[in-house]
Structure 1
Amino acid sequence: MGGSMMSEVYENNNDAGLFSLAITNNSPVQAPIISSYNDHIRPLLDTVDRLRNLNVMKEGIQLPTIVVVGDQSSGKSSVLESLAGISLPRAADTICTRVPLVMRLQRSSSPEPKICLKYGDKSYSTDEEHITEDICTATEAIAGKFSIKTKYTPLELYVRRQSVPDLTMVDLPGITRNPVKDQPEDLYEQVSAMIKKHIEPQESIILNVLAATCDFSTCESIRMSKQVDKKGERTLAVVTKADVQPQGLLKKVTADDVNIGLGYVCVRNRVGDETYQEVREKEEELFKKHPFLSKIDKDIIGIPVLAKRLVEIQAKMITRCLPDIVTKIDEKLGNSLLELSKLPEVITCEREAWMTFTDIIRSVESLLKLLIIQGDYSEYPDDVNMHFSTRLADMLSKFSNDLEAQHQSGTIEFLMDEIKSVTRVIEMEKLTEYTCNPEYTTVCTQKIAAQANFVNALSSNQSSLTLAGFGTVSITHLRKYPSQLLHQAFDMKVSMTAYWSIVVRRIVDSVTLYLQFTVKNLINSQFQKEIVGELGGGGDVEKMLDESPSVACKREKLKNSIKLLKESKEAVAAVLDQNHGHGYRY
């Protein structure tokens, strides 16, 4: 700065009540009406910054933010330097901004500037002489030497001095498609992802830095901003290097071929070791006397005008967004409190553990009686897994089918199993076969009637035969056996088939009754004893009821979220009450 300080004069603006900046060698002067306006704006900015510091954005709540974007070497650093009155890291062939740099400019009445850097849990003061070096050191600490970091806590730069407007801006890396030196191959993709993340929210104000030397329509930063802000309603363009290529600039900013909704501001870049006061003086002279640049409307030229426009836009965006922010905070807070209330209470002693354990047993016992004994599924109308009777019927039906299929499986050739067994088991079968089910006799009579057809088919040249109750069977292999043996084997087949279907049903019925009896007995009288018995006397109840890591993590996350949201709500409520008291409306 060379000991020279840029000072400012605030003038009344009939339309918005905002200030304009002018260069003077006198101390800063401020009209009373502007003092009132700044007393209104400063709390709003402080509140938004407070919310940003609380990291309320991780709760999905977006904050009004000026996001500075531009192609590499567009003059972005020069613009920020002129607004902040300090030097920033620069390099012609590499990217200096590799993490989001949040610049908080605060107008101060003190003649001594205060500069502070924060990242992570670190915070330290610096000065104009060392700020560039300190920013580079902090960036390297966050992102290493060459990489781009989009998911880390941003680097925050606080500048309090007389010569700055009240602004909060986020500076992002310059856009380049060609990595150099040790830069990552996917540099463009990384930078694009970072920029898109910051400019996509509707609360973001896009400050698009364009060099007068380029074709605006081919600028990558224009392409990116138009993807998220098609009508340009929240995009302001600042055109740098006006002195490098003045011819045709008037046409560019008046034609507006790229649809910049918030308009343009043309500026002159700082050159070499020029002081910031010298820069403003030369800028003013350039736009006043240059044959081409003097034709540009005075309302869109110079850093003072840019500062005024940014403060105006920022104030309007904050005013517009605050009610929505309050609503979102209330909704998030309500949801978090509700979710926390649904988590089980934390157990703190053995007595609570046993009481909780007893409540769990009674609750489960009551539910089992409801579902299994009473067949009441009203609490789970659509969850078929809880419908006991239906599931039991399905399981028993499958069991019955499996038994039937098991009986029918075996030797493929008809009667062969029976022929092999008949001489050994026929007497035993006569002794052990017993059923009082009348269906047995009916089925036997129906199936034995097919025996005549079976015998006749054996006497003919048929190779297969369709028998009632058995389907189509092959008989060629049976002709080598005596007729008497075949008659006995057929009788056994009929008898066993008729008897087996009755046996299957009897087994299934018995299993069903046994299951129902066992389950009811377990629920009504044995459930609690079985559970306590599994615990070996109950010594491990406390350990069993320890909160799982996932639930503990969720509980801690919800508590932190609630604390953050409550603090955010208090911060916003305070500024709303203050400004409502002054008659401001939102």
Structure 2
Amino acid sequence: MNDLIELTNKLQAVVSSVGADNTLDLPLITVVGSQSSGKSSVLETLVQRDFLPRGSGIVTRRPLILQLVTLQQSDALEYGEFLHIKDKKFFDFSEIRQEIERETGRLAGGNKGISRMPIHLRIYSPKVLNLTLVDLPGLTKVPFSDQPNDIEKQIRNLVMDFISNPNSIILAVTPANSDLVNSDSLKIARQVDPEGKRTIGVLTKLDLMDAGTNALDILSGRSYPLKLGFIGVVNRSQQDILTNKPMANALEAENDFFNQHPAYRSVAARCGTQYLSKQLNTILLAHIKEKLPELRTKLGTLISQTQQELSQYGEPTRSTEPLHRGPLILRMLTKFSNDFVAAIDGTSAEMSTKELCGGARIYYIFNNVFGHALDAIPACSNLSNHDIRTAIRNSTGPRPSLFVPELAFDLLVRPQIKLLEAPSLRCVELVYEELMKVCHNSDTKELLRYPRLHQRLVDVVSELLRERLSPTSSYVESLISIERAYINTNHPDFLGAAGAMANLETESKKKKKTESKRKNRMSPTSFESKNGRSGSIDNGSINLENSDSVDSSSAPKDSFLNYFFGGAGKNERPALGSQEMMTKAQYAPPMSVNSMMESEMVKKLEQASLNNDGPIVPTDREELETHLIRTLITSYFNIVRKNIQDLVPKSVMHLLVNYSRESVQNRLVAALYKEENFDDLLQEDDTISTEREKCKAMLNVYKQAFEIIKNSL
């Protein structure tokens, strides 16, 4: 059974050396007590050696995992070993104290702060029983000297981390000359062990109690029930420590105190440091025995997990024969390229469930990011009515505008198409960035063993992607240039002049209908002029009606369109008039006085069209022309936007994504599969090598522990 404690000690040392203290909740004894409660004295008496630092305030500032190992030869030399100092034995226990102080200061600093990193000390002696104890910083309530303000919370959290281990025995040290109800060690122990099943109480300073008082009720278990009970001890006094009173004499004085004390004489056999040591050994052995089945099951699980982890590290590179290095590199090249392609295709077994990535992210870029960016661009963005009218006037040159010139439409629509270029190029960049992200994330634990190979893999694929970025962007730019190079007004989806006028007519009818309803509510007054023209007065405006006017329904359907866009000859241009009308005009009689007056009135109205500030107020015709051009631009822009939204993703997939995924493996093989580079590429990472060795050591200890436990059951 003592081998179980030794196994626990070895296991504790190994898991601590590899930084895996929390992987296995090992049975051990955790010593808890307030400052100046006598914790250090209890431990030194158990070891029968002075080896712990002493002083005011907090002395223990790092957890000390103390492993006591019994030497069978009674005359064997006592010595200590630290886990952080390999292959050195400390026969001088004052040097052990100095090393504890030095190692404490190294991590906890020169002030009174604490560190959670434990110090591992193993003491071999024929005077000790096999035990594993953890000495923790003393519980405090008030910061001392230059201690941090939250030192109480830090220490309490540290203590809780250790005593929360269900496999730990809590050694609660309490001075007998203080009120047991206010014992900090018993209070914190009760939080994790409310029934007192794994807490053993130690009463110190029994010799310092007031005269006429004793702690017999506590030692008998009548005042404070604990399953493991209370044990009283009498440590050396401060005077004994200063005068270096031998431990043997101190133990003899302790025995005399209990045997001669009238109150403790009856329980003297269950008191004292020697009894405490035996009890702790017995309790720890029983505790380990109780936990063996559970520990065995957990060890089996850990062995399986550790073997799997070790297999991921692979064999050391130095054991790989030169003959096998080529296939090894080729296999990793293939694995890297397959992972890259799988991430794009969405067939990767290690696909993220937290965010879109790879092919899914590219699809999102095409259909959401790029699509929304195009939809957010208005067809006539930054194009005011003044800009349109100016373009129309500039495109006619010195001649008056007889119809809306197509040149104005071309002039206005090309800059609008140019607006689609920026989001298209951004779409290319986003896909490129996602492919780069896939490239950098395409790694495995085996591949990480070889940082140089991994870096070269990433470099080669990154270079391939950079090469494809430029031609892809250039092609997308050319798509916009192609659309701007030829404005195809014969496109089947283009609204055209007829459609544009139909839209305007529909809008006009709706407007007139609304206006008519409004006028009908206002009761206009009708009248008839001297020349036979009738009309009405409506809100101060005069509306004239020509009795000789031609029914608009009898006019040619496209006469208005021809008016604006013209025909091949003058006869097809109502704005100029037919040849017959022009001939009649040559022989027409002189203008009447009324006609001259009407002409003069038109001039005055045109003059009045200038407002006070000077800008020209657009005429009805100009307003109509503006609306017509705007409608045509919107129609054509929507066609181009639809084309771009379809062609850009196709171009990116063909020139960037598919090209990269199809050529990545060939590029990797051509760049890296060269025998002269094998040694350099297969330089193993030192960290991986260290982790492999730790994993092997852990696996060996787990297997050894499993065999010992199996043979003990």
Task: Please indicate, yes or no, whether the TM-score normalized by the shorter chain is above 0.5.
Answer: yes
Q: Does 1:269 align with 2:235?
A: yes
Gaps of 5+ in 1: 1-40, 463-476, 580-584
Query: Structure 1 counterpart of 2:15, which letter?
Result: N
Counterpart of 2:506? 449
Local SS of the residue matching 1:159: strand
CA apart distance, 1:202: 1.4
Q: 1:380 to 1:508 in 2, by over 3 A?
A: farther
The residue type paired with residue 368 of structure 2 is D
Instruction: Check the 8 A contact 2:204/2:233 in 1, yes or no.
Output: yes
1:505 corresponds to which of 635, 639, 647 = 639
Q: How does 1:12-27 map to 2 (within 5 A)?
A: none
Cα 1:343–1:126, aligned 2, differ >3 Å: closer, same or farther?
A: closer
- The match for 1:99 is 62
Q: CA deviation at 1:309?
A: 1.9
Aligned mates of 1:52, 1:335 — CA distance in 2: 19
Q: Are the structure 2 counterparts of residues 345 and 445 from structure 1 closer, same or farther at C-alpha, using a change threshold of 3 Å? A: farther
Q: Tell whether 2:275 aligns with 1:305.
A: yes
CA–CA separation in structure 2 for the residues paired with 1:279 and 1:87: 12
Comparing 151-160 with 88-97, greater Cα deviation is found at: 88-97
Say if 2:701 is the partner of 1:568.
yes
* C-alpha separation in 2, matches of 1:346 and 1:461: 100
SS at match of 1:170: strand
CA deviation map 1:503-531 (0-9, x unaligned): 32344225513542562466666765589
Matched, 1:54 2:14: yes
2:491 matches 1:435 = yes
1:81–1:358 CA distance, 2 compared to 1 (3 A): closer
2:4 equivalent in structure 1: 44
- Taking structure 1 as reference, are residues 116 and 276 closer, same or farther at Cα in structure 2, changes over 3 Å only? closer
Contact map agreement 1:353 1:545 (CA 8 A) in 2 = no
Query: Which residue in 2 is equivalent to 1:4?
Result: none
Q: Kindly report which structure 2 residues correspond to 1:205-216, keeping only aligned pairs within 5 A, or say none.
A: 205-216=169-180
Picking from 95, 98, 104, the partner of 1:143 is 104
Mapping of residues 106-505 of structure 1, within 5 Å: 106-119=69-82, 120-122=84-86, 124-127=88-91, 130-131=92-93, 133-144=94-105, 147=112, 149-161=114-126, 163-178=127-142, 188-245=152-209, 247-254=213-220, 257-271=223-237, 272=240, 275-295=246-266, 297-298=267-268, 300-338=270-308, 352-353=328-329, 356-357=332-333, 360-361=336-337, 364-365=340-341, 368=344, 370=345, 384-385=356-357, 386-387=359-360, 389=363, 391-395=365-369, 397-403=371-377, 405-411=378-384, 415-425=385-395, 426-427=404-405, 428-429=407-408, 433-437=489-493, 439-440=495-496, 441-442=498-499, 444-451=501-508, 485-505=619-639
Q: Deviations over 1:301-323 (max 9, x none)?
A: 23333223212210122122333
Tell me, what secondary structure is at the counterpart of 2:278? helix
Shift of residue 281, structure 1, vs aligned partner: 4.3
SS at match of 2:159: helix
Write the distance in 2 (CA, Å) between the matches of 1:514 and 1:503: 16
The one-letter code sitting in structure 2 at the alignment partner of 1:322 is: L
- Structure 1 window deviating more from structure 2 (41-50 vs 437-446): it is 437-446
Contact kept? 2:79, 2:90, Cα under 8 Å: yes
Task: Tell me, yes or no, if the aligned pair for 1:229 and 1:235 is still in contact at 8 Å.
Answer: yes
Secondary structure, aligned partner of 1:69: strand
The amino acid of 2:234's aligned partner reads: R
- 1:215, CA displacement in angstroms? 0.7
In 1: Cα distance, 2:137 partner to 2:342 partner: 63
User: How many pairs are equivalent?
Assistant: 510
Distance 1:437 1:578, change over 3 A: closer
8 Å contact 1:100–1:173 — kept in the other structure? yes
SS of structure 2 residue aligned to 1:55: helix
Change over 3 Å in CA distance of 1:558–1:285 after alignment to 2: closer
Q: Considering only aligned residues, what root-mean-square deviation do their CA atoms show, in Å?
A: 4.5
- Taking the TM superposition and a 5 Å limit, the aligned residue runs for 1:72-87 are 72-87=35-50
Q: Which has the larger radius of gyration?
A: 2
| CA distance in structure 2 between the partners assigned to 1:506 and 1:236 by the alignment | 84
- Partner of residue 475, structure 2: none
Give SS of 1:230's match: coil
Contact persistence 1:207–1:237 (CA under 8 A)? yes
Residues 419 and 486 in structure 1, CA contact (< 8 A), matched pair in contact too: no
Q: 1:32 aligns to what?
A: none
- Checking the alignment, whether the CA contact within 8 Å between 2:53 and 2:100 is kept in structure 1 is no
* Amino acid in the other structure paired with 2:97: C
Alignment partners' CA distance in 2, 1:286 and 1:204: 31
Judge conservation of contact 1:148–1:191 (CA < 8 Å) in 2.
no
Gaps of 5+ in 2: 396-403, 411-486, 516-536, 541-607
Equivalent position of 1:66 in the other structure: 29
Quote the offset at 1:42 in angstroms. Answer: 1.5
Mean alpha-carbon deviation: is it higher for 487-496 or for 335-344?
335-344
CA spacing shift, 1:518–1:277, aligned 2, 3 Å: closer
Identity %: 20
Provide the rounded CA distance (Å) in 2 between the counterparts of 1:319 and 1:168.
Answer: 15
The corresponding residue for 1:27 is none
Task: Measure the CA separation in 1 of the matches of 2:333 and 2:493.
Answer: 50
Residues 256 and 194 of structure 1: CA distance in aligned 2, closer, same or farther (over 3 Å): farther
Deviation, 1:234, is 1.3
State the alpha-carbon separation in 2 of the partners of residues 276 and 378 from structure 1.
66
Q: 1 CA distance for matches of 2:390 and 2:619? A: 10
Q: TM-score, normalised by structure 1?
A: 0.72
Q: Which of the two has greater helix per residue?
A: 2
Task: Pick closer, same or farther for the CA change 1:489–1:201 going to 2, 3 Å.
Answer: same
Cα distance in 2 between the residues matched to 1:378 and 1:294? 73
Evaluate the alpha carbon distance shift between residue 555 and residue 511 of structure 1 in structure 2; reply closer, same or farther with a 3 A threshold: same
